[in-house]
């Protein structure tokens, strides 16, 4: 037991641990500069002395705020939120992960004209930035290049590609696209349309399209370019893309929508044209947003694990801030089978 009287200080811990006060400070804030054995010894002594870290004083010394910034891209939506419903689930998981790591979370929208480095890191409002959403990637890439040039600590949710700026965490979109297309083929569907952009301007949709194309090719089915229609992630875009597809007079027995919102709009367009779901047209989406299980019929889709994604985004950004090497990574996608494809 300690014989120290009064409130213990980091100097007391340093004396008992036989290290410098600076080493104690580094160990208690999780710095990678302190080895595990030393850190554990310091933490044990701190517990014995009932030592509490003064987060405010610590942040002043380290010039860190103990806050992460989450910047959302303003998406076109059917309500006033301007937030893709998929990202609402992600926001919740990021907030929980920050709380578990004792970080505060500052949430705002991406103002593309602003200098985010100056707004958040230089002003010490936040130690790093999480980016959700980006629109047209080729236009957005210049913003990422600027963040890298400024030395900004940031991580984004999006497609993982070689040579891209910064660190990205994303779903394995190609694997998910292939798996859901294979499921449709297994149900006997042979003329499968794809709704969503299939170009490098929208790399997540493009990867889903490539998975779709790979599954068709592996099954010996012809890839018909006339069965692909561009669409952004809104119900209206899905509705209009389906109407455009119907005017082409192309035969199809299934629709793979690159997002659930596109799929929901597509189902309404099919109903308005007098076509049923799943008979004669099976419909599947991607994302597994909460409403997907409550459409009529319930939507078969591909689930992106938002709980895992939020935890990885926060853990990766904190490591970046602490100077620990990190890499971009993907997480698996999982088909969720419901009645809109005729099974489930």
**Structural domain includes residue 125:** yes
Q: What is the CATH number of the domain that holds 42?
A: 1.10.260.40
Residue 72 has pLDDT above 90, yes or no: yes
Q: Is the pLDDT of residue 315 over 60?
A: yes
Distance in angstroms (rounded) separating the CA atoms of residues 124 and 4: 36
Same domain, 48 and 80: no
Give the model's pLDDT for residue 189.
Answer: 98
39 within some domain: yes
* pLDDT beyond 80 at 3: no
Mean pLDDT, the chain, as a whole number? 91
Which value, to the nearest 10 degrees, does the dihedral of the CA atoms of residues 245, 249, 252, 255 take? 10
pLDDT digits (tens, 9 = 90+) for 208-231: 999 999 999 999 999 999 999 999
Whether residue 2 is contained in a domain is answered as: no
Residue 180 sits in the same domain as residue 293: yes
Q: What angle do CA 93, 206, 299 make, to 5 degrees?
A: 55
Average pLDDT (179-202) is: 97
Which two tokens mark 119? 């707004």
Q: Which residues lie below 8 Å from residue 292, measured CB to CB, with a gap of 6+?
A: 260, 263, 285, 298, 299, 301, 336, 338
The CA distance from 318 to 88, in Å, is 21
**Taking the chain, what is the end-to-end CA distance rounded to the nearest angstrom?**
62
- H-state helical runs in the chain: 10-17, 21-28, 36-48, 55-62, 85-100, 116, 137-150, 173-186, 203-218, 235-247, 260-272, 306-321
Flag whether 209 is in a domain: yes
pLDDT, greater one: 54 or 225: 225
Residues 228 and 142 in one domain: no
Percent of the chain, pLDDT > 70?
93
Lowest-confidence region among 33-47, 168-182, 212-226, 230-244: 33-47
Same domain, 43 and 98: no
Q: What is the pLDDT of residue 263?
A: 98
309 and 166 share a domain? yes
C-alpha span between 49 and 25 (Å, rounded): 15
DSSP class of residue 341 equals: G
Question: Residue 279 — pLDDT band, cuts 50, 70, 90?
Answer: very high
CB proximity list for 126: less than 8 A, separation 6 or greater: 65, 67, 68, 69, 106, 120
Cα–Cα distance measured from residue 231 to residue 241, given in angstroms and rounded to the nearest whole number:
6
Domain membership of residue 150 (yes or no) is yes
Residue 32 shares a structural domain with residue 79: no
pLDDT at 282 over 50: yes
Residue 63's pLDDT is 62
From 39, 62, 85, the end of a domain falls on: 62
* Domain end marker among 19, 35, 62: 62
When pLDDT is averaged across residues 154-180 and rounded to a whole number, the result is: 96
Q: How confident is the model at residue 53 (pLDDT cuts 50, 70, 90)?
A: low
How high is the pLDDT of residue 4?
58
Given this model, what pLDDT does residue 111 score? 86
Q: Is residue 5 part of a domain?
A: no
Q: Does residue 71 sit in the same domain as residue 114?
A: yes
**Does the residue 1 lie in any domain?**
no
Identify the weakest region by mean pLDDT among 12-26, 189-203, 255-269: 12-26
Asked if the model's pLDDT at residue 174 lies above 90, the reply is yes
> 60 pLDDT exceeds 50?
no
Number of domains in the chain: 3
pLDDT at 6: 63
Residue 83 sits in the same domain as residue 205: no
Closest of 171, 129, 149 to residue 307, by C-alpha: 171
CATH number at residue 139: 3.40.50.2300
Extract long-range pairs of 73-76: CB within 8 Å, 24+ residues apart.
73/109, 73/110, 73/131, 73/132, 73/133, 73/134, 73/135, 74/109, 74/110, 75/133, 75/135, 75/233, 75/234, 76/232, 76/234
The answer, yes or no, to whether residue 61 has pLDDT greater than 90, is no
**Shared-domain flag, residues 58 and 151:** no
Q: What is the pLDDT of residues 224-261, one digit of tens each?
A: 999 999 999 999 999 999 999 999 999 999 999 999 99
The reply to whether 192 and 282 lie within a common domain is: yes
Q: What is the pLDDT of residue 1?
A: 43
CA dist 227 and 191 (Å) reads: 8
Order of all β-strands in the sheet with 154-157: 104-109, 67-72, 128-132, 154-157, 167-171, 329-331
Q: What is the mean pLDDT of residues 139-145?
A: 93
For residues 241 and 94, membership in a common domain is answered with: no
Spatial neighbors of 175 by CB under 8 A, at least 6 apart, are: 211, 332, 333
The mean pLDDT value for 197-217 works out to: 97
What's the pLDDT score for residue 132? 96
DSSP, collapsed to helix, strand or coil, labels residue 76 as coil
**Residues 75-106: tens digit of each pLDDT:** 877 777 788 999 998 999 999 999 988 899 99
**Weakest-pLDDT range from 22-26, 120-124, 326-330:** 22-26
Identify the pLDDT of residue 270. Answer: 98
Q: Write out the residue range of the structural domain in which residue 208 sits.
A: 173-304+335-341
Task: Please say whether the beta carbons of 159 and 173 come within 8 A.
Answer: yes
- Residues 292, 276 share a domain: yes
Minimal CA–CA distance to 337: which of 289, 303, 309? Answer: 303
* The pLDDT value given to residue 123: 82
| Domain presence at residue 181 | yes
- Give CA–CA dist 68/89, Å, rounded: 18
């Amino acid at each position: 037991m300690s014989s120290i009287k009064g409130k213990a200080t980091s100097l007391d811990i340093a004396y008992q641990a036989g290290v410098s006060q600076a080493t104690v400070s580094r160990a208690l804030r999780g710095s990678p500069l302190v080895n595990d054995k030393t850190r554990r010894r310091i933490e044990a002594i701190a517990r014995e002395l009932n030592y509490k870290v003064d987060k405010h004083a610590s942040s002043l010394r380290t010039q860190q705020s103990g806050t992460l910034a989450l910047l959302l891209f303003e998406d076109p939506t059917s309500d006033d939120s301007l937030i893709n419903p998929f990202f609402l689930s992600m926001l919740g998981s990021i907030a929980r992960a920050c709380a578990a790591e004792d970080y505060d979370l500052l949430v705002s929208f991406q103002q593309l004209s602003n200098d985010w480095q100056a707004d958040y890191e230089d002003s010490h409002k936040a130690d790093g930035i999480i980016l959700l959403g980006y629109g047209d990637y080729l236009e957005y890439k210049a913003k990422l290049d600027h963040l890298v040039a400024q030395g900004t600590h940031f991580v984004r949710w999006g497609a993982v590609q070689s040579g891209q700026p910064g660190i990205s965490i994303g779903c394995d979109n190609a694997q998910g696209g292939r798996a859901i297309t294979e499921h449709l083929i297994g149900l006997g569907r042979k003329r499968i349309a794809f709704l969503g952009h299939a170009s490098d301007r929208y790399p997540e949709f493009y990867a889903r399209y490539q998975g779709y194309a790979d599954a068709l090719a592996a099954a010996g089915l012809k890839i018909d370019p006339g069965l692909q229609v561009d669409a952004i992630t809104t119900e209206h875009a899905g509705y209009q893309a389906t109407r455009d597809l119907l005017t082409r007079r192309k035969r199809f027995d299934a629709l793979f929508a690159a997002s659930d919102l596109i799929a929901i709009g597509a189902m309404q367009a099919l109903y308005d044209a007098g076509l049923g779901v799943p008979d004669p047209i099976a419909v599947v989406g991607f994302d597994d947003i909460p409403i997907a299980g409550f459409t009529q019929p319930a939507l078969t889709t591909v689930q992106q694990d938002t709980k895992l994604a939020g935890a990885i985004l926060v853990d990766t950004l904190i490591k970046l801030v602490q100077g620990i090497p990190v890499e971009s990574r993907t997480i698996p996608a999982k088909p969720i089978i419901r009645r809109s494809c005729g099974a489930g």
